[in-house]
Structure 1
Amino acid sequence: MVGKKSGKALRDEGLERTDNNMDLSSWPQVAAINQKNYYTDYLKRDDQYLAFRLQNEEARTKMTKSAKDRDRALAMAKTEAAEGEAEADGDANMEDAEETPAEAAGSKVIVIHVGSQNLRIGLSSDALPKTVPMVIARKAKTSESEDQEEPNPKRQKRDDGTPEEPEHLFGTEWSSQFNKMSADLKVHMRTNKRRMLPNSKEMVVNFNRRTVPETISEHNDPMRIEWTELSTPPPEYIVGQAALRVPDSSQPRYKLYWPLRNGCCNERDYASKRMLFLDISLILEDAIKSQLGLTSKKDWAQYSCVFVIPDLYEKSYVTQILEMLMREFSFARVCFIQESLAATFGAGLTSACVVDIGAQKTSICCVEEGMCVENSRVNLKMGGRDVTETFIKMMLHDHFPYADIDLWRRYDFLLAEDLKRTICTMNEANVSPQVFDFHLRVAGQDTQKHTFKAFDEVHLAPMGFFEPTIFDNLPKLDGCRKLIDRSVDIYDGQPNDPLSTAQSEILTALAPPLPKINGELQSASADAQAAQSKTQQSGALGRVQEQEATPHSSVAGSPAPEATGTPQAGGANPSAAATSTQTPRIAVEERDDILPVFPLDSAILTSIAHAARSDEKKMRDFIGGIMVIGGGTLTSGFHLCLEERLQTLRPGFLKEIMIGAPPRDLDPQVVVWKGASIFGKLSGTNDSWIGKLEYDRLGHRLMAYKCMWAY
């Protein structure tokens, strides 16, 4: 080791120090941090978040104002008491006038619930909402019925182009399933000691074959329709109910657009994301002006807005809606609430399993103590619209006299919806050959009265909720992710939309079998197929009970689901799936390729199983507190039929299973809106409001602090 050199040696080598021992810079030098004692309180206190600071400042301002008002009132009372009794009475009247705005709670809060087919909107102080069709008609060269090459329902044709016989209009596979459902219904009715004529189907077919429509002149039709008359010049767009009443052969032509489809954005019928959200904005704007009477946009800055979103929402949709409400509509405050939570608010329940069957979407979620159980959320792409289409297909199969019905035409669509609403039933006592009639009203033509017979079609069409393969599910995935990409994490680029283990299990059961490449993959694929078969036969409730009691971690809002599960082609390690004891899962990126259409009874049991997590008490509470809401539940006998199906799947809970309806005779279609309106009145305890100042500074990042759930 070389020793220290002397000063002379350094001078000889030219290395002698010649400075004056001053620092190289006058800038203060910071000593290195001692990692052993390192600590910081950055973003560890609520007062360091802008959202919480603004809430605290607002609370302090209200407290100061109320104290000043109280002191001022006491001082004025003492002064006016000496001036006479008359002035004291006048002061009492003034105090009553000051308290009047507080009595009209919610009069400055707009509640919006957007659905695939209908929009429900109203003030929080209203008893019931206004219902507007979620549709807009725009000028076009052709109408939507003229754009389609095939009618709806789609019929098959012979090789020479002529239509097939009614029994073969929709293919042999569909006809065989329809006949099988009809045979199963006969067996079930005989088991329940219900009499049935052996030739009922033949009676219906023979009657429908020979029936002839009756023509009624327009002046003799007391229920004639008032069609929408176009002004001069014709408007660029028409919104709501008036859009549905525009004649298909109008001049100029108008084409209908439905911005939402199957509970999410309709990317199939739109060419750009901007036009899609522009139509949503125009429909909402027209509803606020026409239904609420707020014609001036300048007044909207005085109002707050409560917006209802799905339980399994897409973050890109929520952020776009938030920007629309804050920027375009200029509301003072905005907050969001989930559908199932709003339903429990409207029904006055603290815990329930909410089953919401809409026009094109069915959502299931268990709510416990005012919070949605994240892993119990299920979103199925089927609803009352599927029942309408299937009912028309069944009637056409049995020689429906109006054989040219096309649901792309507006008057036929409204006719089919009315027939489903008035004729369909799930009560077996009403299944018998019956005569019905309807009036076909077309703009510019005389009314035609058709008479027809129906038998089991009125019952089997809504039974499609339990056998959804009878529905036409092929076009539901068209256009998915064409315009709007999935929301991803800004750090690792992984999808960050909320997940649910119940939804993931259903998607796994619906996933196609994997190719058998080697022995391990074949074994894993066999395990997955066995799991699928078990799920479809008895639901996921029994399988979850047999799993280990170790609770799973929540994956809602996480960037990716659990890695365990059925291996996908080119994906996870097959051996990991073979040795895993967890339920198989579907990768997040592959969820868009699988359509979530599953039997309703099995989906409910799957949701409850993931909410209870092997807790016997919770399972009995949820299975005994099932509340069905939505327009799809208005079919008579639906509650009893669903209860019977659940009892068949879970005979061990025969006494506990109970299907409830909304209390106080509330319309099942408005329960969610009613709950959201109640939520909007909770101004003192609601911390979910997003104001303009904080949104201008933080944007949609505020949702992480403002939502009552893990956003």
Structure 2
Amino acid sequence: MVGKKSGKALLREEGLERTDNSMSLTSWPEVNPINQKNYYTEFLKRDDQILPYRLQQEERRNRMTTHAKNRDRELAQVGLEETTAVDPDIDLGDDVGLDDTTVPGQEQLGSKIIVIHPGSQNMRIGLASDSLPKTVPMCIARQWAKSESEDRDGEPRPKRQKTNSGSVMAPEKMFGPTFANEYTTMSTELKIYMRSNKQRVLPNSKELVVNYNKRIEPESISEHNDPLRIDWTELTPKPPPYFTGKEALRVPDYSNPRYKLFWPLQCGQYNEKDYDEKLHLYNDITVIIEEAIKNQLGLRRKREWAQYSCVFVIPDLYEREYVTQTFDMVMRDMGFGRIAFIQESLAASYGAGYTITCVVDIGAQKTSICCVDDGMCVEESRINLKYGGFDVTETFIKMLLFDHFPYEDINLKRRYDFLLAEEIKSQYCNLKIEDVTVQPGEFHLRAPHQETRKYSFKFYDEKYLAPRGFFQPDIFDNAPKLDGRRKIIQPSTNIYSGSLDDPLSSAQSAIIHACVQLSGKDTTNGDPNGNLPSTPLRQPPGLLQRLNEPNDRSSPAGNSAAGDDEDSTPAPGGDSNPKNGQNLLSSVFQEEILPIAPLEHAILTSILYGARNDERKMRDFLGGIMIIGGGSQIPMLDLFLEEALKKAKPPNAKDVQVGAKPRDLDPQVVAWKGASVFGRIPSTDDLWIGRIEYDRLGARVLNNKVNWIW
């Protein structure tokens, strides 16, 4: 039997005995591990540890020092012996702005602030000290192989269907059976409504219009006899590579060399359909804004722009890529000294002077709805619909062509036809039911290198039914609006979870889910191609029922509108938690769904989520609806919208009121005017982003420098 061995013997036999001289492995001092149960840090727990706040405090101290020195100098010059000490705790940010505009001898307040509000069709730009902005078409014409009217083998807009032999179909069939049925249904419903209101309806009104338009021939007018002839953009022997603004719209379509017209923003977002590279898209936006600053504001020396600040108006439901790219463009490419961002609806409330309102901004290609309460946009009430004033223009032209419009070759891809269509719409379209009679009209067609042609025509209900498309969006051509989406620019995603970072409100989520439900498609797996439908929404399912529910904690409307409780009931067409709009679309490709809904139902959806189970706010929002934007200039639109909202029978329907033009301002410039007011308020100093913050932090500084959750 083997005896028991000692520990040292085992170490020696196993080769584990230490044979060194007990020297440490390194000469670096050893750090003992901290006690995990008792340690504390203040890293990034105080405002003075964050760069934007630190710079703000330094700027405030510098202003206070400068103000004290200036005051002492003035008192010394007048020979006063007794001076009043400056209170070290005074906050001079309330009476001395960042640009020191209150110091005697300085320029006018706001003269160093440029306000920019870009849109899909027009851009408003001007100094904050200006009473009204300059309007510049948001387009650029670049030298190209073909013009936009020659692309796709010269396919016109609106698109006409052709027969098997290649000829264009009759006007009643050229836009397909869907449009024909929708248009005929709307006409029939209008006649029934007019008869029920004891208005005279001629039984053969359509026949009178068609027979008159068929036999009309244009009248030629020589150029020297046309007092309103157009001065087209002249091309020099060495033409420039591009034109912007109004000059771009006046370049002849068949010029030599050819120029193609680009609209970098469409439907309130980047126009990826007409671009193959995102750098080309970004560069076009930069060039349009820079040329507007040089030509419209007279600031031709770019090195002087560092002395100016910029207020940039962004959509309520923005894309993060759009904001960050704009941030880089303004600070890096244009070289402005500071920038501040403001959302469209909040800017409109500043311009109108309203503290609580529901803003309905009808633009050229998008309509945004948002509730504003005490200087903040209610996040869950934001809605962005992809239709606007241009859809009314296109539908109006289709209806006229359907009734044998004498100028049958009109093509909205041609620049002079596009301007003509906008002119005809603004001249004749309205929502006055008493004006729905057979009426004559005329227009002058002015094309480059051609004599002016004068056309006469008759119309009946087209001018009334086209703007009715806001309330029946099925009549609009919604199919191509998602073409090219995410072709060159990918959405912003969270680096940790991989989910989309772009904001999506509960109201917008309800609209999108209702569109998907009405389509009858499976939202879990999608269709075989991974696409989802863009069916317009006639009425959000369950919305009006929820609006009429008793307003208490036990009601579905109360639980879902509050959106803060775990036991809340589903939103219209959504999941059980409307607080986070992203959750409502977890199983749906939200990028492939086109948000389309009747205007009155979209407004009620926005107010439902904006009120948050508060009956007082519900009354305030319903009684403070404000419509702005170029698409809102259709006569009687405000009264028609008010009547449509009351017919929907929401709670407190008697309180529904659509306000008139705020302060007698042009509704197109209300948002720009509010942004100019915002830029001149000293108390908004916290929202300005300077050069040092941009150079050191980049887009990360937006977390601390915007007045919404970034």
Equivalences for residues 381-396 of structure 1 within 5 A:
381-396=386-401
Structure 1 residues 276-335: Cα deviation after superposition (integer angstroms, max 9, x where no partner): 011001101100000000001011110011111101111111111111111111100011
How far apart, CA to CA, are the structure 2 residues paired with 1:369 and 1:537? 26
Q: Counterpart in 2 of 1:28?
A: 29
Distance verdict in 2 for CA 1:189–1:653, change over 3 Å: farther
Would the aligned equivalents of 2:171 and 2:402 in 1 still touch at CA under 8 Å? yes
Letter paired with 2:677: I
Say whether residues 1:495 and 2:504 are aligned partners: no
Structure 1 residues 525-556: Cα deviation after superposition (integer angstroms, max 9, x where no partner): xxxx9x9976288487458965263467889x
Q: Which has the larger displacement, 579-588 or 383-392?
A: 579-588
TM-score by length of 2: 0.88
Q: Counterpart in 2 of 1:642?
A: 641
Q: Counterpart in 1 of 2:528?
A: none
Q: Matched residue of 2:440: which SS?
A: strand
Say whether residues 1:159 and 2:160 are aligned partners: no
Would the aligned equivalents of 2:558 and 2:613 in 1 still touch at CA under 8 Å? yes
Q: Counterpart in 1 of 2:356?
A: 351
How far apart, CA to CA, are the structure 1 residues paired with 2:257 and 2:580? 59
Structure 1 residues 604-628: Cα deviation after superposition (integer angstroms, max 9, x where no partner): 0111101112221111111111100
Distance verdict in 2 for CA 1:548–1:417, change over 3 Å: closer
Q: Counterpart in 2 of 1:52?
A: 53
Q: Counterpart in 1 of 2:541?
A: 535
Q: Counterpart in 2 of 1:319?
A: 324
Deviation at 1:5, TM superposition (A): 6.2
Equivalences for residues 271-350 of structure 1 within 5 A:
271-350=276-355
Q: Matched residue of 1:37: which SS?
A: coil
Q: Counterpart in 2 of 1:244?
A: 249
Q: Matched residue of 2:665: which SS?
A: coil
How far apart, CA to CA, are the structure 2 residues paired with 1:581 and 1:687? 28
Q: Counterpart in 1 of 2:275?
A: 270
Would the aligned equivalents of 1:495 and 1:588 in 2 still touch at CA under 8 Å? no
Would the aligned equivalents of 2:577 and 2:584 in 1 still touch at CA under 8 Å? no
Distance verdict in 2 for CA 1:193–1:582, change over 3 Å: farther
How far apart, CA to CA, are the structure 1 residues paired with 2:293 and 2:540? 49
Q: Counterpart in 2 of 1:92?
A: none
Q: Counterpart in 1 of 2:671?
A: 672
How far apart, CA to CA, are the structure 2 residues paired with 1:144 and 1:471? 22
Say whether residues 1:227 and 2:236 are aligned partners: no
How far apart, CA to CA, are the structure 2 residues paired with 1:392 and 1:233? 38
Deviation at 1:490, TM superposition (A): 2.2
Q: Counterpart in 2 of 1:597?
A: 596
Say whether residues 1:197 and 2:202 are aligned partners: yes
Q: Counterpart in 2 of 1:572?
A: none
Q: Matched residue of 1:491: which SS?
A: coil
Q: Matched residue of 1:320: which SS?
A: helix
How far apart, CA to CA, are the structure 1 residues paired with 2:258 and 2:647? 52
Q: Counterpart in 1 of 2:220?
A: 215
TM-score by length of 1: 0.88
Say whether residues 1:547 and 2:552 are aligned partners: no
Distance verdict in 2 for CA 1:47–1:307, change over 3 Å: same
Distance verdict in 2 for CA 1:7–1:122, change over 3 Å: same
Letter paired with 1:639: D
Q: Which has the larger displacement, 25-34 or 248-257?
A: 25-34
Deviation at 1:577, TM superposition (A): 6.5
Q: Counterpart in 1 of 2:136?
A: 132
Say whether residues 1:71 and 2:72 are aligned partners: yes
Deviation at 1:162, TM superposition (A): 2.0
Structure with greater helix share of residues: 1
Would the aligned equivalents of 2:543 and 2:605 in 1 still touch at CA under 8 Å? no
Q: Counterpart in 1 of 2:681?
A: 682
Q: Matched residue of 1:701: which SS?
A: helix
Q: Matched residue of 2:230: which SS?
A: coil
Q: Matched residue of 2:117: which SS?
A: strand
Q: Matched residue of 2:443: which SS?
A: strand
Structure 1 residues 431-488: Cα deviation after superposition (integer angstroms, max 9, x where no partner): 1111110001111111111001111100000000011010001110000000100001
Structure 1 residues 180-239: Cα deviation after superposition (integer angstroms, max 9, x where no partner): 111111222223332222222221111111222111111111111111111220111000
Q: Matched residue of 1:36: which SS?
A: coil
Structure 1 residues 7-55: Cα deviation after superposition (integer angstroms, max 9, x where no partner): 8998899877787877655533333333332322111110111111001
How far apart, CA to CA, are the structure 1 residues paired with 2:521 and 2:188? 34
Say whether residues 1:451 and 2:450 are aligned partners: no
How far apart, CA to CA, are the structure 1 residues paired with 2:305 and 2:472? 47
Q: Matched residue of 2:595: which SS?
A: coil
Q: Counterpart in 1 of 2:116?
A: 112
Aligned length: 671
Q: 1:438 aligns with which of 439, 443, 446?
A: 443
Letter paired with 2:680: K
Equivalences for residues 96-107 of structure 1 within 5 A:
99-102=103-106, 104-107=108-111
Distance verdict in 2 for CA 1:552–1:208, change over 3 Å: closer
Distance verdict in 2 for CA 1:618–1:211, change over 3 Å: same
Letter paired with 2:556: Q
Distance verdict in 2 for CA 1:532–1:634, change over 3 Å: closer
How far apart, CA to CA, are the structure 1 residues paired with 2:195 and 2:370? 35
Q: Could you list the runs of 5+ residues in structure 1 that have no partner in the other structure?
A: 82-95, 519-528, 556-561, 568-575
Distance verdict in 2 for CA 1:139–1:654, change over 3 Å: same
How far apart, CA to CA, are the structure 1 residues paired with 2:57 and 2:194? 64
Letter paired with 2:74: A
How far apart, CA to CA, are the structure 2 residues paired with 1:5 and 1:112? 87
Letter paired with 2:450: Q
Would the aligned equivalents of 1:118 and 1:133 in 2 still touch at CA under 8 Å? yes
Letter paired with 2:289: L
Would the aligned equivalents of 2:542 and 2:572 in 1 still touch at CA under 8 Å? no
Q: Matched residue of 1:488: which SS?
A: coil
How far apart, CA to CA, are the structure 2 residues paired with 1:580 and 1:487? 22
Q: Matched residue of 2:679: which SS?
A: helix
Distance verdict in 2 for CA 1:239–1:577, change over 3 Å: closer
Q: Could you list the runs of 5+ residues in structure 2 that have no partner in the other structure?
A: 83-99, 526-534
Would the aligned equivalents of 1:539 and 1:602 in 2 still touch at CA under 8 Å? no
Would the aligned equivalents of 1:289 and 1:295 in 2 still touch at CA under 8 Å? yes
Distance verdict in 2 for CA 1:406–1:544, change over 3 Å: farther
Q: Matched residue of 1:505: which SS?
A: helix
Would the aligned equivalents of 2:380 and 2:579 in 1 still touch at CA under 8 Å? no
Q: Counterpart in 1 of 2:41?
A: 40
How far apart, CA to CA, are the structure 1 residues paired with 2:423 and 2:550? 41
Letter paired with 2:125: I
Letter paired with 1:138: R
Letter paired with 2:663: R
Q: Which has the larger displacement, 227-236 or 636-645?
A: 227-236
How far apart, CA to CA, are the structure 2 residues paired with 1:396 and 1:154? 12
Deviation at 1:564, TM superposition (A): 8.1
Q: Counterpart in 1 of 2:63?
A: 62
Deviation at 1:73, TM superposition (A): 1.4
Q: Matched residue of 2:558: which SS?
A: coil
Identity of aligned residues (%): 56
Distance verdict in 2 for CA 1:515–1:554, change over 3 Å: closer
Distance verdict in 2 for CA 1:516–1:636, change over 3 Å: closer
How far apart, CA to CA, are the structure 1 residues paired with 2:557 and 2:228? 63
Structure 1 residues 60-116: Cα deviation after superposition (integer angstroms, max 9, x where no partner): 1101111111112112211799xxxxxxxxxxxxxx999445561110011000000
